[in-house]
Structure 1
């Protein structure tokens, strides 16, 4: 695939926001296990839930407007990250519709695998108990409700409001759609990312039923990508959002020189498989997604310094992704990195949080070394990192890859 954007144009990330088990910043990566124990049914499982300060910020947001008190946790996490991204971009603090607007319309593209998980389960429980549901049950639990509330909070009056669900690659589906709109000139500014709040008893029971949940205790960094058997999948919650613009390369040279975060490509891959929870041993969907992203960016294999893996800690999934990497890059692989051992698997938000982690590594040239045997790269690197590929994949044989760089 050829590069679909002119060399004279760039998709830049003006700002980004995140919230996860690490809170709303990445300043304390790897200092202690952020996982906690959660009683669900007869089991105690490790989960990656928000820490106290981030939880208070979320509840303060919920209390800030009467309409927000009814929103699902997934939506509120998206609002929290989107506000941070817009503020970091200098677009101004997002404001409710009806107040003074920014100079440019803001469009929104958000991914979520399950959407309003908590509220849906609450409404269903109420229905089983009472035989009725509130009028607001349907609008508060549709997937489109995620992006539309982010757009509302951003003060958008006519920009696009797009919600995407493609299991655990949902955030990159949202990012790719935003990139396509920007490249086509159909929008000027986009808030794009992913959000998920799946730490409910029913969702935890589903993950445990698949037989992939980690047996390790919360304090032991129970999610262990690249460590082999046993499976060490751990569920987490969070969101990450990016403020995107298309700019001319010339306009950047006219400004005071400082590194600019560039979204070079978002590629996709799909494979037909017999089991909707399975994947091919050589990760054909990963291969397609990575090759698509590399073709769009126009960079060579040697130009990719590191890969932030999808790698959820399941032996089959981890092995397939590494087989795909060898098929694309050969045996001389880029550095392999992951943030899931720090925040768990956040389903539809995971790709966005992995991309945020990649940008943090590019900015700081630092990352924590996992405290367990794994093929993840220890810190430091022998050379500076300037370009990182990020992978994501989900049930149903879909995968996505994004490439970001500092320029």
Structure 2
């Protein structure tokens, strides 16, 4: 790759509690519903009716799709949107298209269903294994996109999985190992067993669905809420010269540049905990800034991981102060609308960042929190954080080209 080549986000697609795409950010409203788990009523961020209908319709479009896990179907919906926005089509058969999708749990629903059937009947169908492997997610996205000549890769690194996928795509494109990439994350974890796991950790929100149950940056009590969704991005290389010509031809069309993806890890005794100063966040942010040859002063705002747990929120803020010093930019999070979508959360945070860059709007949060204030300068470059169990973290830097 030439030093003049850039990695551009040509298209994006998403499905979440806000519906299909990012339009739901324009007029934020409570998106949560309630799931009964034994005697407990837990708030969740599930898909709304219109998005649910899109999933049902997709399932009926192909005989093989009827047996796919919900996580795969969400990835397909998001990837189709991204491909359409990128205007990639069937005439591009000679272009190498690779796929990289992150998911923390993978085929959660189908795995639990097959296991329940095994406990009851003592047998499983032939398709159980291929339908529940993690690679199943990326391979079906590649199949649906008509990919030719590229790899289909699935990643799992807990809640930073989508940025693992994105970092892989960025490296492969820079190395010339693919011409185009569909990269992102998908997760459909709203099953009884997964909800029970999250509740058992002791971090689940005590607030009701209509009372903004997920409250990043609000302090105690913990307000983690599980959500489902997917976001996928269409990536390709472009020369600086070609990009300048494109901007002259379409000056009002935003063009997004993926500048870097950095990773961090801290070896700690607890696989669900983290250090108070967020060492893994610090490493990831420094790496992202260094890769892009970017100073902290050039970052206009940060989209936080911020899951609504007091310890997690505090550690991320401490890490940001360690990196940015006294000049901490404004920061925000979308989890108060989407909940925590595990392996899809980083991708949905990136999609939120692109929405902020496009609209230059800064949604106000309807509860007491440290999110905000509204930035005082135009948004040109955003840093997005993600982290997960096991001590891993990732940060991505995206800008208007």
**2:393 counterpart of 1:404:** no
Residue of structure 2 equivalent to 1:109? 100
Matches for 1:202-351 after TM superposition, within 5 Å: 202-255=193-246, 256-258=249-251, 259-351=254-346
Does the 8 Å CA contact 2:256/2:400 hold for their aligned counterparts? yes
- Which runs of 5 or more structure 2 residues have no equivalent in the other structure? none
Question: How far apart are the structure 1 equivalents of 2:347 and 2:307?
Answer: 15
TM-score (norm 1): 0.95
Question: How far apart are the structure 2 equivalents of 1:334 and 1:24?
Answer: 30
Question: How far apart are the structure 2 equivalents of 1:251 and 1:103?
Answer: 21
SS of residue matched to 1:220: coil
Give 1:7 shift. 4.2
Matches for 1:40-51 after TM superposition, within 5 Å: 40-51=37-48
**2:362 counterpart of 1:367:** yes
Give 1:26 shift. 2.2
Does the 8 Å CA contact 1:392/1:399 hold for their aligned counterparts? yes
Question: How far apart are the structure 1 equivalents of 2:3 and 2:122?
Answer: 59
Give deviations 1:239-288, integer Å, cap 9, x for gaps: 00000001111111222143310000000000100010011110000000
Question: How far apart are the structure 2 equivalents of 1:343 and 1:264?
Answer: 26
Question: How far apart are the structure 1 equivalents of 2:75 and 2:69?
Answer: 10
Higher alpha-carbon deviation: 258-267 or 281-290: 258-267
SS of residue matched to 2:289: helix
SS of residue matched to 2:210: helix
Does the 8 Å CA contact 1:12/1:260 hold for their aligned counterparts? yes
2:35 aligned to which of 35, 38, 55? 38
Does the 8 Å CA contact 2:22/2:351 hold for their aligned counterparts? no
Give 1:103 shift. 4.2
TM-score (norm 2): 0.97
Does the 8 Å CA contact 2:28/2:337 hold for their aligned counterparts? no
Higher alpha-carbon deviation: 248-257 or 321-330: 248-257
Pairwise CA RMSD: 1.2
Residue of structure 2 equivalent to 1:148? 139
Question: How far apart are the structure 2 equivalents of 1:389 and 1:313?
Answer: 19
Give 1:325 shift. 0.3
- Which runs of 5 or more structure 1 residues have no equivalent in the other structure? none
Residue of structure 2 equivalent to 1:161? 152
Question: How far apart are the structure 2 equivalents of 1:121 and 1:19?
Answer: 23
Question: How far apart are the structure 1 equivalents of 2:3 and 2:362?
Answer: 31
2:50 aligned to which of 26, 50, 53? 53
Question: How far apart are the structure 2 equivalents of 1:184 and 1:332?
Answer: 35
1:27 aligned to which of 23, 33, 58? 23
Question: How far apart are the structure 1 equivalents of 2:133 and 2:312?
Answer: 30
SS of residue matched to 2:226: coil
Higher alpha-carbon deviation: 24-33 or 159-168: 24-33
**2:378 counterpart of 1:381:** no
Change (3 A) 1:6 1:301: farther
Number of paired residues? 396
Give 1:110 shift. 0.4
Does the 8 Å CA contact 1:289/1:399 hold for their aligned counterparts? yes
Give 1:144 shift. 0.4
Give deviations 1:113-166, integer Å, cap 9, x for gaps: 000000000000000000000000000000000000000000013211000000
Residue of structure 2 equivalent to 1:185? 176
Does the 8 Å CA contact 1:91/1:102 hold for their aligned counterparts? no
